[in-house]
A and B are shown apart, each in its own frame.
Chain A
Amino acid sequence: MHIFSQLFQYEHPWSHVVIGMWRKYPNPKCTHVVSVDVIDRSVDPETGIIRTERILGCKQKAPRWVVKLFGGSEDAFVREVCFVDPATQDANITSVNLSLSQFATCYEVVRYTPAGPHRTNFSQTAEVQARTRLWQTAANGLEKWLVQRFEQNAQLGKTAFTDVLRALWEERHGHLQAAAA
Chain B
Amino acid sequence: MASSLSPECTPLKTTYDTCFNAWFEGYLEPAVSKTPAERTAYSKEKADEFEQKCGKVWKDYKACVQNAMKASGLEGALQQARDEHSLAVPPKAESSGH
* Cα separation A160 to B20 with both chains bound (whole Å): 22
What is the predominant secondary structure among interface residues of chain A facing chain B? strand
Decide if A22 touches B2 in the complex (CB within 8 Å). Answer: no
Contact of B31 among A38, A86, A113 (CB under 8 A): A86
* Cα separation A110 to B44 with both chains bound (whole Å): 28
Q: Does A48 lie at the interface of the complex (its beta carbon under 8 Å from any beta carbon of B)? A: yes
* Cα separation A51 to B84 with both chains bound (whole Å): 18
With a cutoff of 8 Å between Cβ atoms, the chain B residues found around residue A101 in the complex are 77, 80-81
With a cutoff of 8 Å between Cβ atoms, the chain B residues found around residue A79 in the complex are 78, 81-82
Size bracket, chain B contacts: 35 or more
Would A18 and B28 be within 8 Å (CB), given that A34-B2, A35-B4 are in contact? yes
Would A94 and B96 be within 8 Å (CB), given that A18-B28, A46-B43, A99-B77 are in contact? no
With a cutoff of 8 Å between Cβ atoms, the chain B residues found around residue A34 in the complex are 2-3
Contact of A45 among B36, B44, B84 (CB under 8 A): B44
Q: Does A141 lie at the interface of the complex (its beta carbon under 8 Å from any beta carbon of B)? A: no
Q: Does A36 lie at the interface of the complex (its beta carbon under 8 Å from any beta carbon of B)? A: yes
Q: Which residues of A, 70-108, contact B by the 8 Å Cβ criterion?
A: 77, 79, 81, 83-90, 92, 94, 96, 98-99, 101, 107
Shortest distance from the beta carbon of A95 to any chain B beta carbon, whole Å: 10
Q: Which residues of A, 14-42, contact B by the 8 Å Cβ criterion?
A: 14-15, 18-19, 22-23, 25-26, 33-39, 41
Contact of A96 among B1, B25, B58, B81 (CB under 8 A): B81
With a cutoff of 8 Å between Cβ atoms, the chain B residues found around residue A87 in the complex are 31-32, 34, 36, 39
Binary contact track B4-45/A, C-beta < 8 Å → 1, others 0: 110001000100110011001101110110101001101110
Chain A residues in the interface with B (C-beta under 8 A): 7, 14-15, 18-19, 22-23, 25-26, 33-39, 41, 43-51, 53, 55, 57, 77, 79, 81, 83-90, 92, 94, 96, 98-99, 101, 107, 109, 111, 113, 115, 121, 123
